[in-house]
A and B are shown apart, each in its own frame.
Chain A
């Protein structure tokens, strides 16, 4: 069990640029979740996948945010035309589909928009 990994760990970008983050889940997990966490807050749900199907995306913060999981393994989260308000920690988690499945989190990608 190598855990959930995320890349990059840190990203500094200028306002208006596009950024993409990658998440590799635990290998036997077929559910994958994306969250945003700002200072002093708990994780805020963005979207999730079961295998390659994106089952919930209404909570993506704006149409500048999109996520993919093309082969049901790794996932990418893209933010287009970044704004300073997008600065946050972006967390990925994965789980199985069992009863009361536990989500296991990656280390996160910290985004700073200048």
Chain B
């Protein structure tokens, strides 16, 4: 079985400060990991993914995420937050064992960037 946890419902950060949105996962095999962002009343926008290779993944809008196999984590980071980054962020995992193409999404973390 696969699962994902986003332990923080909300993250508050001041504009210009670094931000981190946390994600931990559980899979039987190896994970495919994804981050998406959702703005109000909109669908999800893809930010980045980890499939294999380099543990540090760079994505859209200056976001990056670090895959840590020993801690089963895939935290989303950005060196300098913008007010426009305020949105809902979802982590998703797909277990590569079993051949399923169905991801499991976390409950989401609301990021609020204060001016």
Contacts and interface: CB of A to CB of B under 8 A. Distances in A.
Interface string B92-115: 100000000111111110000000
A93 B3 CA distance: 20
A99 B45 CA distance: 19
Given A42-B108, A99-B51, A105-B36, A91 B43 contact: yes
Contacts of A108: 41-43
Interface size class of A (residues with CB under 8 A): 20 to 34
Interface in B5-54: 32, 34, 36, 41-46, 49, 51-52
Which residue, B34, B36, B107, has most C-beta atoms of chain A within 10 A? B36
Contact of A107 (B32, B42, B92, B107): B42
Interface string A30-50: 010100000011111100100
A100 B41 CA distance: 27
Q: How large is the interface on B (under 10, 10 to 19, 20 to 34, 35 or more residues)?
A: 20 to 34
B41 A103 contact: no
B74 interface: no
A25 interface: no
B102 A91 contact: no
Given A100-B49, A100-B51, 11 more contacts: A4-B43, A42-B107, A45-B103, A48-B101, A91-B44, A105-B44, A105-B45, A106-B43, A108-B41, A108-B43, A110-B41
Interface of A: 4, 6, 31, 33, 40-45, 48, 55-56, 91, 93, 95, 99-108, 110
4 nearest A-B pairs in the assembled complex, by CB-CB distance: A42-B105, A100-B51, A105-B43, A105-B44
